[in-house]
Amino acid sequence: MDKKLTRRALLRYAGLVTSSVLLAACAPKVVEVEKIVEKEVTKVIKEVVKETVIVAGTPQVVEKEVTKIVKEIVKEEVVVEKGRDIFQGDLILWHPWGTGYEGGAYPFLRNSEHFPKLYPGVNFINMYESSRDKYLAAIAAGSPPDLLLVNAIAIPALAERGALMCLDPFIKRDNFDMAQYWAMALDQCSWKDRTYAISHHPDVRLMYYDQVVMEEVGLDPDKEPASWDEAYEWGMAMSKQEGGRYVRFGWVPTWTSGPWTNHYMIANGVERLDRTGRLATFHTDEAEEAMAYVLKCTDDICGGRDNVEEFQEVHATPDGKGPYWMFPWHRTGMLLYGNWLYCPIGIIDPDQPINNGSLPGGPAAPGVRHVFHGGTMVAIPSDAKHWELAWEFLKYMDSQDYGNGAQFIQECGDDIAGNVAEATAAYAMDFPGRPKVIEMFKMAESYSYLPSPISYEWEDEMYRMADRILLREQTIPEALATSQKTIQKALDEFWATV
DSSP 361: P
272 vs 18, 197, 220, 254, 301, CA distance in Å? 60, 25, 35, 19, 28
* Residue 192 lies near another protein (rule: CB under 8 A): no
18 or 123: CB nearest another protein: 18
Closest listed residue to residue 77, CA positions, set 36, 39, 120, 118: 36
Q: Which stretch binds another protein (CB under 8 A): 33-41, 193-201, 265-273, 311-319?
A: 311-319
* Residue 460 lies near another protein (rule: CB under 8 A): yes
In whole angstroms, the minimum distance from the beta carbon of 310 to another protein comes to: 6
Q: Which stretch binds another protein (CB under 8 A): 39-47, 80-88, 159-167, 330-338?
A: 159-167
In whole angstroms, the minimum distance from the beta carbon of 325 to another protein comes to: 15
C-alpha 206/C-alpha 208 separation (Å) is: 7
Question: What mask of x and - would describe binding to another protein in positions 112 to 141, judged by CB under 8 A?
Answer: --------------------xx--xx-xx-
In whole angstroms, the minimum distance from the beta carbon of 321 to another protein comes to: 8
- Please check whether residue 207 is in contact with residue 334, taking contact to mean a CB–CB distance below 8 angstroms: yes
Closest listed residue to residue 267, CA positions, set 241, 283, 244, 291: 291
Q: Candidates 110, 395, 436, 464: give the one binding another protein (CB under 8 A).
A: 464
Closest listed residue to residue 313, CA positions, set 323, 305, 321, 324: 321
408 or 495: CB nearest another protein: 495
310 or 349: CB nearest another protein: 310
- Count CB neighbours of 236 within 10 A: 15
* Residue 146 lies near another protein (rule: CB under 8 A): no
- Please check whether residue 5 is in contact with residue 364, taking contact to mean a CB–CB distance below 8 angstroms: no
- Please check whether residue 336 is in contact with residue 252, taking contact to mean a CB–CB distance below 8 angstroms: no
Element (H, E) at 115: helix 105-118
Q: Candidates 92, 118, 149, 157: give the one binding another protein (CB under 8 A).
A: 157
Number of DSSP helices (H) and strands (E) in the chain, helices first: 20, 16
Size of the site for another protein (CB under 8 A): 34
In whole angstroms, the minimum distance from the beta carbon of 161 to another protein comes to: 5
In whole angstroms, the minimum distance from the beta carbon of 346 to another protein comes to: 26
Residues that bind another protein (CB under 8 A): 8, 11, 15, 132-133, 136-137, 139-140, 157-158, 161-163, 306, 309-310, 313-314, 316, 454, 456-457, 460, 463-464, 467-468, 471, 473, 489-490, 493, 497
